[in-house]
Amino acid sequence: MNFEFFFFLVYMSIVSFAVAFLAYGMVVRFMGKEGFASRLGQIILVPACIIFYDFITIASGDYRYFVGAAPLAVIAFILIYYRFFKGESFLDEKPAPSEAAQLTREEKKFSKKSQRIHDARKNRGRE
């Protein structure tokens, strides 16, 4: 099997994913997450953008790797912008919900009847 063909196939998969990410982001940004226009944009515009950009990349001849790198560069720019200029971190610095629950866990409160039953079970094991 020709290695260049295999590499190009993997490369186009990555480029297609990047174009899908950008197209979906634009649809959500300009049309919102809910509604008929947004749903139609998600169903029709996102795949159309992927197919159109893949066609442009394949048809560009010797420059296909540079043309295909454009969406990857845009995503890299977005990540760098949000990390360094907006100051948002991509790492989850907040504790997980289960960890947060353990940190804020208080002593369980029992009703008087439940407390009596609980004490009786404790004492039963000691006898």
User: Higher confidence at residue 22 or residue 99?
Assistant: 22
**Alpha-carbon gap, residue 21 to 79, rounded angstroms:** 13
Q: What is the pLDDT of residue 67?
A: 92
Arithmetic mean of pLDDT, 5-15: 91
The amino acid at residue 17 is: F
Q: What is the pLDDT of residue 22?
A: 93
Residue 16 predicted with pLDDT over 90:
yes
Q: Is the separation of the CB atoms in 50 and 68 below 8 Å?
A: no
Q: What is the pLDDT of residue 53?
A: 94
pLDDT digits (tens, 9 = 90+) for 61-114: 889 899 999 999 999 998 888 888 877 666 656 666 676 666 666 666 668 888
Residues 6+ apart with CB under 8 A from 95: 103
Question: Residue 20 has which token pair?
Answer: 């899908």
Q: What is the pLDDT of residue 57?
A: 92
| Count of C-beta atoms within a 10 Å radius of residue 18 | 21
Residue 26 predicted with pLDDT over 80:
yes
**Alpha-carbon gap, residue 4 to 36, rounded angstroms:** 42
**Alpha-carbon gap, residue 52 to 20, rounded angstroms:** 11
**Alpha-carbon gap, residue 40 to 43, rounded angstroms:** 5
pTM of full prediction above 0.85 = no
